[in-house]
Amino acid sequence: MTTIGVLDLQGATIEHIQQLEGLGVDALLVKKPEQLQQIDGLIIPGGESTAIGKMMKRYDFIEPIQQFASLGKPIFGTCAGLVLLAKDLGGAEDSHLNLMDISVQRNGFGRQRDSFEIDLSIKGIDQPVPAVFIRAPYIESVGNNVDVLATHDDKIVAAKQNNLLVSSFHPELTDDRHFLQLFINMVESKLQSQ
Ligand code: GLN
C-alpha cells in the first residue's frame, strides 16, 4: 500500500489527509523526522512558511527531508510548502529546504487580492482545475530542468522538477482530485521503479 505523509508542524493538514484517504492512499501525519522512513511521498502543506521553516529547524527536519528527496522520493509543496522547497526566496535567508531550482516571490498575489479562486489549465490534466489561492506565492523564474505546469496572469503557479512538485494554490481545498492524483502517480511510479 502506498503511504503518503503530511508534514504536521504548522498549517492545514487535515484536508490533505482526507483527500489522500479518499483516493485510497494511506495517509500519515508526520510530526517527527523518524516517521519519514514510513512514507513513500511527503506533502508540505500551506500555512506560514516562516513559522514552518523555523519549526523544521528546531525539530531537525531539514536534513532528513533533504535526504528523503535525494533518494528520489516525491515531495509536494503547496503554497507555503512551495516557498520552503525553493532554492531562492528572493534573497531572504530564512530556514528552508533549498531543494528546487525556482525563485519565489512570497505573497506575490497578496497585494492584489488576498484570496481568490479560478479555473486553471494545468499541463497533464485534460480539463481546467479549480484553484484556490490564499496569500499565495508565485514562481518568478525556474532553472532549465524545471517543467512549468501552469501560469496565471503570466506568473508561474505550478511546476515540477524530477521528484518535486509545487503549487501556489491549495488543491486540498476543493473537491477536484486531479492535481493530487498527479502527485500520487509520481509516488506510485517511484515505488514501481524500485
Ligand atoms: N503567504 C504564506 C507564506 O508565504 C503562504 C500562504 C499559504 O500557505 N496559504 O508563508
* Catalytic residue status for 170: yes
Flag whether 135 is marked binding.
yes
ipTM above 0.85, yes or no: yes
Q: Which residue's CA is minimally distant from atom 5 of ligand 1?
A: 80
Rounded to 5 degrees, φ, ψ at 29 are -80, 125
Residues 171-183 pLDDT 10s: 999 999 999 999 9
Residues 28-54 pLDDT 10s: 999 999 999 999 999 999 999 999 999
The DSSP secondary structure of 143-191, one letter per residue, reads -TTPEEEEEETTEEEEEEETTEEEESS-GGGSS--HHHHHHHHHHHHHH
Arch. (CATH architecture) of 3-192: 3-Layer(aba) Sandwich (3.40)
Residues 83-117 pLDDT 10s: 999 999 988 888 899 999 999 999 898 765 689 99
Flag whether 168 is marked binding.
no
Set of cell numbers at residue 13 = 493538514
Query: Which listed residue (15, 63, 79, 96) is catalytic?
Result: 79
Residues 6+ apart with CB under 8 A from 31: 8, 9
Flag whether 141 is marked binding.
no
User: Do residues 80 and 96 lie in contact, with contact meaning Cβ atoms separated by under 8 Å?
Assistant: no
* Catalytic residue status for 79: yes
User: Cα(30) to centroid of ligand 1, in Å?
Assistant: 20
pLDDT at 99: 98
Alpha helical stretches, state H, 59-110: 62-70, 80-85
* Catalytic residue status for 178: no
Name the residue ranges covered by the structural domains of the chain.
Answer: 3-192
Residues with CB under 6 A from ligand 1: 46-49, 79-80, 83, 106-107, 134-135, 137
